[in-house]
Structure 1
Amino acid sequence: MNHCMLEVLVKKAPTVRFTQDNKTPLAEIEVEFDSLRADDPPYAIKVVGWGKLAEELQNTVQVNSKLVIEGRLRMNTIPRKDGTKEKQAEFTLSRIHPFSSKTAISSIPSQNQSNLEKDSANSSNNEGLKWDSSPLVPDTDDIPF
């Protein structure tokens, strides 16, 4: 099954167009997300939303908004002017979640919410803590077996 969730930053405002046959709205935005390695630049990807999601993109999403998006990832082959072909990733949207820390806390049951708030208050005092984003598999050419 192909289902992805990405935390993204909107780089270009939504553009909306309609299909010819049944006038279904189609919106496209360009977003970027962080790479796994600190020295790599962020990745940019085109996000496509159909129907009500296209309308939601048009009405609520702005440049520099942070979102969590859900959907399907696919690769398109696009011909270049020089005759070669280029592969580009495209994300077909199924859900949009505005990104905020309050949203994340409010979705947790109330009995655990006070513990989470205490933990987050304690972790704000620990300035040395960082997320380890190193790859799960070492980046070597050696075969491990």
Structure 2
Amino acid sequence: MNTCILMAEVITNPELRKTPDDVDVANMMVEFPGLRDEDPATRIRVVGWRNLGVEMSQNYSVGDRLVIEGRLSMNLIEMNGYKEKRAELVASHIYAMGQSSDRGLSQPTAMPSNVVDFQASTPSAELPEPISLQAPTSAPELSSTPEYSSAPATATNTTEDYDEGTLDEIPF
């Protein structure tokens, strides 16, 4: 299954176009931060077809923070005699997270309508009491010399010789 979910910021306004078959398609560039602080931000083109493309062009603009779900595809583009691969995300769902005040992503200002906030929907009186687990204060004492039986260990094929009190014999 090829599904990708990104939280990203819109960096170019969506452009709505029509195909020769009169199908709406919109494109926009989004940016999301790298995994580490020293990693540069990554940009990817997002494509929305039909009604989603119209919605993209009407509702989103530069600076909007979005959660985008879709299918990742790689396109081969020929430019000036050489071929280059470029990734794009063909969107299937888009959720608005609000405006960004800086170039980095921060916490969402509003939750998507289909996400339930557990803390807001459950009164604290109904929540169970938290369980407190404590680590043991001291480790059990171990003898420095292990105790072994002086009798040699023998293997038998019957279980009638097995004595649950001794661990020296292993029945087969």
C-alpha distance 25-111 of structure 1, shift in aligned 2 (>3 A): same
Structure with the larger RCO, 1 or 2 (CA within 8 Å, 6+ apart): 1
Matching residue within 102, 106, 119 for 2:110: 102
Unaligned runs of 5+ in 1: 115-145
What does residue range 1-145 of structure 1 map to in structure 2 within 5 Å?
1-21=1-21, 23-81=22-80, 83-99=81-97, 100-103=108-111, 107-109=116-118, 110-111=121-122
Residue 68 of structure 2 aligns to a residue in which SS? strand
Distance 1:54 1:87 in 2: 23
TM-score of the aligned structures, taking structure 2 as reference length:
0.61
**Offset of residue 101 of structure 1:** 3.7
8 Å CA contact retained: 2:96, 2:112: no
Higher helix share: 1
Q: Which amino acid aligns with 2:13?
A: A
C-alpha distance 79-7 of structure 1, shift in aligned 2 (>3 A): same
Aligned Cα root-mean-square deviation (Å): 2.3
Residue 59 of structure 1 aligns to a residue in which SS? helix
- Deviating runs (4+, > 3 A) in structure 1? none
Distance 1:113 1:62 in 2: 39
**Offset of residue 72 of structure 1:** 0.3
Distance 2:14 2:43 in 1: 15
Distance 1:54 1:64 in 2: 18
C-alpha distance 113-79 of structure 1, shift in aligned 2 (>3 A): farther
8 Å CA contact retained: 2:95, 2:112: no
**Offset of residue 33 of structure 1:** 0.6
C-alpha distance 17-102 of structure 1, shift in aligned 2 (>3 A): closer
- Which string of whole-angstrom CA distances, capped at 9 and with x for unpartnered residues, describes residues 38-96 of structure 1? 11110000000001101110110010100000000011111121x22111101000001
Residue 26 of structure 1 aligns to a residue in which SS? strand
Distance 2:64 2:70 in 1: 18
TM-score of the aligned structures, taking structure 1 as reference length:
0.71
Distance 1:78 1:59 in 2: 28
Higher strand share: 1
Deviating more after overlay: 54-63 vs 93-102: 93-102
Residue 56 of structure 1 aligns to a residue in which SS? helix
Q: Which amino acid aligns with 1:108?
A: D
**Offset of residue 113 of structure 1:** 8.6
